[in-house]
Amino acid sequence: MERLIFHVDVNSAFLSWQAKYEMEQLHMDRDLRKIPAAVGGDPKTRHGIVLAKSTPAKAYGITTGEPLSRALEKCPDLVIVQPKFETYVQNSRAFIQILLEVAPVVEQASIDEAYCDLSGTGRLYGDPIALAHQLKDRIQNDLHFTVNIGISNCKLLAKMASDFEKPDKVHTLFPNEIAKKMWPLPAGELFLVGRSSAKKLSGLGIRTIGDIARMDPDLLQLHFGKQGKTMWEFANGIDESPVRSESDAAKSYGNSVTLRFDVTDADSAKKILLSLCETVGARLRADKAYIRSVTVSIKDCDFRTTSHQTGLEDATNVTEVIYRTACTLFDQLWDHTPIRLLGVSTGKITDDSYSQMELFSTIKRKGPAPEKLSKLNAAIDQIRDRYGEDSVKRARFLEDGSSHMTKGLNKAKREE
d(CA 46, CA 97): 36
Going by pLDDT thresholds of 50, 70 and 90, the confidence category of residue 3 is: very high
Residues 109 and 57 placed together within one structural domain of the fold: yes
Domain boundary among 117, 147, 172: 172
Where is average pLDDT lowest: 76-80, 111-115, 299-303?
299-303
Residues 54 and 190 placed together within one structural domain of the fold: no
Is there a contact between 280 and 255 (Cβ–Cβ < 8 Å)? yes
Is 249 inside a domain boundary?
no
What is the pLDDT, as a whole number, of residue 41? 72
How many whole angstroms from its chain centre is CA 14?
13
Residues 147 and 190 placed together within one structural domain of the fold: no
Torsion angle defined by CA atoms of residues 199, 200, 203 and 204, in that order, rounded to the nearest 10 degrees: -140
Q: What is the pLDDT of residues 286-343, one digit of tens each?
A: 888 888 899 999 988 877 788 889 888 888 889 899 999 999 999 999 988 889 889 9
What is the pLDDT, as a whole number, of residue 389? 65
Name which of 263, 260, 334 is nearest 298 in CA terms. Answer: 334
Cα 16 to Cα 52, 146, 154, 223, 231, distances in angstroms: 9, 8, 28, 41, 33
pTM of the full predicted structure?
A: 0.69
Residues 211 and 332 placed together within one structural domain of the fold: no
3-state secondary structure the chain: CCCCEEEEEECCHHHHHHHHHHHHCCCCCCCHHHCCEEECCECCCCECECCEECHHHHCCCCCCCCEHHHHHHHCCCCEEECCCHHHHHHHHHHHHHHHHHHCCEEEEEECCEEEEECCCCHHHHCCHHHHHHHHHHHHHHHHCCCEEEEEECCHHHHHHHHCCCCCCCEEECCHHHHHHHHCCCEHHHCCCCCHHHHHHHHHCCCCEHHHHHHCCHHHHHHHHCHHHHHHHHHHCCCCCCCCCCHHHCCCCEEEEEEEEEEECCHHHHHHHHHHHHHHHHHHHHHCCCEEEEEEEEEEECCCCEEEEEEEEEEEECCHHHHHHHHHHHHHHHCCCCCEEEEEEEEECCECCCCCCCCCCCCCCCCCCCHHHHHHHHHHHHHHHHHHCHHHCCCHHHCCCCCCCCCCCCCHHHHCC
Residues 161 and 31 placed together within one structural domain of the fold: yes
Residues 275 and 317 placed together within one structural domain of the fold: yes
d(CA 277, CA 255): 8
Decide if 113 is catalytic.
yes
Residues 95 and 219 placed together within one structural domain of the fold: no
Is 242 inside a domain boundary?
no
Domain tally for the chain?
3
Residues 46 and 110 placed together within one structural domain of the fold: yes
Is 328 inside a domain boundary?
yes
| CATH number, domain containing residue 304 | 3.30.1490.100
Residues 197 and 153 placed together within one structural domain of the fold: no
Residues 98 and 189 placed together within one structural domain of the fold: no
| CATH number, domain containing residue 221 | 1.10.150.20
Range of the domain at 217: 183-235
Is 178 inside a domain boundary?
no
238-256: string of b/e by CB count within 10 Å (b at 16+)? Answer: ebeeebeeeeeeeeebbbb
What is the pLDDT, as a whole number, of residue 28? 94
d(CA 167, CA 164): 9
Is 244 inside a domain boundary?
no
Domain boundary among 149, 172, 195: 172
Where is average pLDDT lowest: 88-92, 104-108, 229-233, 407-411?
407-411
Is 277 inside a domain boundary?
yes
Find the catalytic residue in 2, 86, 107, 113: 113
d(CA 320, CA 328): 12
For range 35-56, the mean pLDDT: 81
Is 275 inside a domain boundary?
yes
Domain boundary among 128, 149, 172: 172
For the cut 80, the answer to whether the pLDDT of residue 117 exceeds it is yes
What's the whole-number average pLDDT of the chain?
85
Residues 369 and 264 placed together within one structural domain of the fold: yes
Residues 191 and 79 placed together within one structural domain of the fold: no
Cα 51 to Cα 104, 200, 249, 295, distances in angstroms: 33, 29, 30, 27
Counting beta carbons within 10 angstroms of the beta carbon of residue 218, is it exposed (0 to 12), middle (13 to 18) or buried (19 or more)? exposed
For the cut 80, the answer to whether the pLDDT of residue 386 exceeds it is no
Is 241 inside a domain boundary?
no
Q: Letter for the amino acid at 102?
A: V
For range 36-50, the mean pLDDT: 77
Going by pLDDT thresholds of 50, 70 and 90, the confidence category of residue 399 is: low
| CATH number, domain containing residue 100 | 3.30.70.270
